[in-house]
Amino acid sequence: MKVLIQRVKNASVTINNELFSSTNKGLLLFLGVEKKDTIQEADWLVDKTLKLRIFEDENEKMNLSVQDVGGEIMVVSQFTLAGDCKKGTRPSFDNAKAPSEANELYEYFVSKLKKSGLNVQTGVFGAMMDISLINDGPVTFMLEK
């Protein structure tokens, strides 16, 4: 399981030219689910994401988590994070979990984040989405479990 984390000033998801969801200051998470992934990986990634100190304190040091700053979270399913580009020039998606199983883990991941009490928004699993964001920093991290 992979989570690409971007610290954002705001983010939004548009589907078929209509705004679906949006957030303010916080995190935009792109979640990729692979065949080997289980609830245990999801639990670890949720905990790590919520506690990751990537927001600046009063001394401009990354010392605060999204929870500390009362930030918001946008989670978008990102099938292409399971892509393997090591061979040739066309990505292989052999490692991607089947859509129905991946959606279950995606929904589980989102439900665990919502238990934090933060405002958590999503895209639509498997949909073609336009994602807009203002990356704050820019600050971007990849978590893998």
Cα gap 32→4, rounded to integer Å: 8
80 catalytic per annotation: yes
Please tell me which residue in 23, 80, 89, 122 is annotated as part of the active site.
Answer: 80
Pairing verdict, β 120-122 and 72-77: parallel
Q: What is the DSSP letter of 96?
A: B
**82 phi and psi angles, rounded to 5 deg:** -85, 0
Cα gap 16→70, rounded to integer Å: 31
| Contact indicator for 77, 126 with CB cutoff of 8 Å | yes
**108 phi and psi angles, rounded to 5 deg:** -60, -45
**Where in the sequence numbering do the catalytic residues fall?**
80
